[in-house]
Amino acid sequence: MRNQQATKLIFELSRPGRRAAVLDPPDLPVPEASDCLPAEHLADGPPPLPELAEGDVVRHFVNLSTQNMSVDTHFYPLGSCTMKYNPKRNERLASLPGFAAVHPLQDEATTQGWLRVLYELQQMLGEISGLPGVSLQPAAGAHGELTALMVAAAHFRQRGEARDIVLTADSAHGTNPASAAMVGYETRTVVSGPDGLVDVDDLRAKLDDRVAVFMLTNPNTLGLFDSRIREITSMVHDRGGLIYLDGANMNAILGIVRPGDFGADLMHYNPHKTFSGPHGGGGPGAGPICVREDLARFLPRPIVRRDGDRYFWDEEGEDSIGRVRSFFGNQGILLRAFAYLRTYGGDGLRQVSEDAVLGANYLLSRVRHILDVPHGERCMHEFVATAARLKKERGLSAMDLAKRILDFGFHAPTVYFPLVVEEAVMIEPTETESKETLDAFAEALFRVTEEAVDLVKDAPHTTRISRPDDVAASRRPVIRWTP
């Protein structure tokens, strides 16, 4: 079943002199390379590329492509990552030569269509967030966090305030404290109460005039909307601090509530999550940020602006923190987001979020009979179960469940995040899955919890490799092939 050819590197399959195609020698005079280029710029010989027949090259890559799971092949309930279906039409649009072949240094007069797309995307993101200042530059969500904190730092510097602390929630994504540390802030953690929401008393105790920003995720990583959000944001504002919204969970609230209306001052979007851009495997994402009107002057430049019918890159801005990326951002993913937003429109986006919440609650109502779900009777677009009882009673951990579910043809949920839940199993189905898929997943999960312990502990049994040493894979990765 396992294809041996597919385990080999393409370099190992190479045989000297083997060719994909054999062409007749040209019957036109061919100039010597040394007649065209100075000798010091010529290579000593051909590059050491693998030599294979065309069929073997095709098989090699097609087989490799089947060794992983993707949203196109499997249900992918990876909590916090919003692995929704990626409409193929958006892929086709992004590969149109008029978009894909544009050079970033091309004259603006020749890229008016592109600039209009980006301008209108800025407008839409500003509208959905209720925060009108928009920069499309950051290259990922984490980069958006970093950029927005640099904007916040510029704001306090200009006011002459020496604030040096960023508060993060204990259920936050690890990028929140990491971004704060990169901007030079000390971080303090605000704990969650037993209900999984921000413990307002703990926030009050940790809030003082040194606090620059409170970074929060709402709905939070437990899939719960913080019912005291207005009180929380007012408390921070009253002490002169800013609220940063980690927008990774926007899929739950599109067109329903605007972060700017509940008190966020700055936020990022993850268009590769919320707006269906393909992601995973380290591929390009984007992390556009939106800020309150009075903070917009600190945003990175350039920003696309409109003057009558003409669109242009505005590089001006004395207070700007400067560029955070070469050229204009990951435009391919931004174009897909634009196409997604225009396809759904306002009412459609609201429907996206309502369906995401409905799907998650349906699955929650089934999973509750299999695993404990410690926080919340209902959820937003995702929920966090725990395998703690299963571990105590049968010795099966969240990791064992995650590994075994692969054999049933499902990607694993997120495990061991957020840290506030022991043996966490974080499930986010997204709105693009059918009831039948959700039922099949719940049934597979139930079966795994009932199976023989040894069978589950040795899983997965059907994948290319079974259980790699994940510490060694991260600390001592072998990423270079040596002949």
Binding site for ligand PLP (CB under 6 A): 80, 140-142, 173, 175, 217, 221, 246, 248, 270, 285, 287
CB of 279 to ligand PLP, least distance (A): 8
The residue type found at 48 is: P
Identify which of residues 217 and 233 has a Cβ nearer to ligand PLP in the complex: 217
How many other C-beta atoms can be found within 10 angstroms of the C-beta atom of residue 428?
30
CB of 245 to ligand PLP, least distance (A): 10
Identify which of residues 175 and 320 has a Cβ nearer to ligand PLP in the complex: 175
Identify which of residues 175 and 430 has a Cβ nearer to ligand PLP in the complex: 175
Identify which of residues 80 and 353 has a Cβ nearer to ligand PLP in the complex: 80
Q: Nearest residue to ligand PLP, using CB?
A: 141
Identify which of residues 122 and 175 has a Cβ nearer to ligand PLP in the complex: 175
49 and 20 Cβ atoms separated by less than 8 Å: no
Identify which of residues 79 and 460 has a Cβ nearer to ligand PLP in the complex: 79
CB of 52 to ligand PLP, least distance (A): 36
Tell me the C-alpha distance between 94 and 100, whole Å: 6
363 and 384 Cβ atoms separated by less than 8 Å: no
CB of 287 to ligand PLP, least distance (A): 6
Backbone angles phi, psi at 12, to 5 degrees: -75, -25
CB of 172 to ligand PLP, least distance (A): 7
CB of 414 to ligand PLP, least distance (A): 9
Identify which of residues 118 and 215 has a Cβ nearer to ligand PLP in the complex: 215
CA atoms lying within 13 Å on the CB side of residue 468: 12
CB of 290 to ligand PLP, least distance (A): 15
Identify which of residues 80 and 331 has a Cβ nearer to ligand PLP in the complex: 80
165-169 sheet: strands from edge to edge: 133-135, 289-291, 266-268, 242-246, 211-217, 165-169, 186-190
Rounded to whole angstroms, what are the CA distances from 474 to 26, 246, 416, 426, 467?
Answer: 50, 26, 16, 22, 14
287 and 143 Cβ atoms separated by less than 8 Å: yes
Backbone angles phi, psi at 290, to 5 degrees: -125, 140
Burial class (CB in 10 A: 0-12, 13-18, 19+), 282: exposed
CB of 50 to ligand PLP, least distance (A): 33
Cβ contacts of 222 within 8 Å, gap of 6 or more: 171, 192, 196, 375, 376, 379, 383, 384, 418, 420, 421
211 and 167 Cβ atoms separated by less than 8 Å: yes
